[in-house]
Structure 1
Amino acid sequence: MMNKFDELQKLVKDNMDLSMESLGTVSKGMQAIAAEVADYQKKSFDEGTAVAEKVVASQSIEKAFEAQSDYFKTAYEGFVGELTKIGEMYSDMSKGLIKPYEAMLGTIGK
């Protein structure tokens, strides 16, 4: 009887350790994503401010439209690139979330 209790206790401890490892991965991943988003927002704000100053200082309406058009193009490309990067970060995080369980799940089918 005691042997079964020890096995159950070990199983519960192992599962708790796996859960804590997965939660650590999620925590680190979310921190990295939050830092990336904050950096992008700061960069985007700085670029937008610089373009606004450039538009205001433009000598002609054509130069103002040109500055805005260039900004919109680069802002869009930067946004798409940032979304791709964040998507990859989420994908990596989810792979890391499952990793601790791979060994356990591999033994279930055997």
Structure 2
Amino acid sequence: MLNNFDEIQKLSKDNMEIAAESFGSVSKGLQAIAAEVADYQKKSFEEGSAAIEKVVASKSLDKAFEAQSEYFKSAYEGFVGEMTKIGEMYTDLSKDAYKPYEGLMGKFGK
């Protein structure tokens, strides 16, 4: 009976360590994603402000439409690129969070 208790205690300790390691990976990953989103928002705001200034400063209606079109195109391309990057960051986050459990799954398979 004492042997089973020791095994259960060791298994419980191992599971807590794995959970803590996984939580640490998730925490770091979410911080990196939050920093990336904040950087993108700042950059997007600055580019939007510059575009508004360029449209307002345009001498003709054609130039204003041209400036607006350029901004919309670059904003769309930047958005798609950023969402792709954030998607990859979430994929990496899930892989890093799963890594500690890989060894545990191998134990149950035996």
TM-score interval for Structure 1 and Structure 2 normalised by the shorter chain: over 0.9
CA distance in 2, matches of 1:2, 1:103: 26
Look up the match of 1:52: 52
SS at match of 1:59: coil
CA distance in 1, matches of 2:89, 2:104: 25
Q: How far is 1:78 from its partner?
A: 0.4
Q: Which amino acid is 1:11 matched to?
A: L
Q: What is the TM-score of this pair, normalised by structure 2?
A: 0.97
Moved over 4 A (4+): none
CA distance in 1, matches of 2:69, 2:56: 14
CA distance in 2, matches of 1:106, 1:84: 33
Look up the match of 1:78: 78
Look up the match of 1:27: 27
CA distances 1:10-37 after superposition (whole Å, capped 9, x unpaired): 0000000000111111100110000000
Structure 1 unaligned residues grouped into runs of 5+ = none
Q: Which amino acid is 1:3 matched to?
A: N
SS at match of 1:37: helix
CA distance in 2, matches of 1:109, 1:11: 15
CA distance in 2, matches of 1:5, 1:107: 18
Structure 2 unaligned residues grouped into runs of 5+ = none
Q: How far is 1:107 from its partner?
A: 2.5
Q: Which amino acid is 1:94 matched to?
A: S
Q: Does structure 1 residue 3 correspond to structure 2 residue 7? A: no
CA distance in 1, matches of 2:69, 2:97: 42
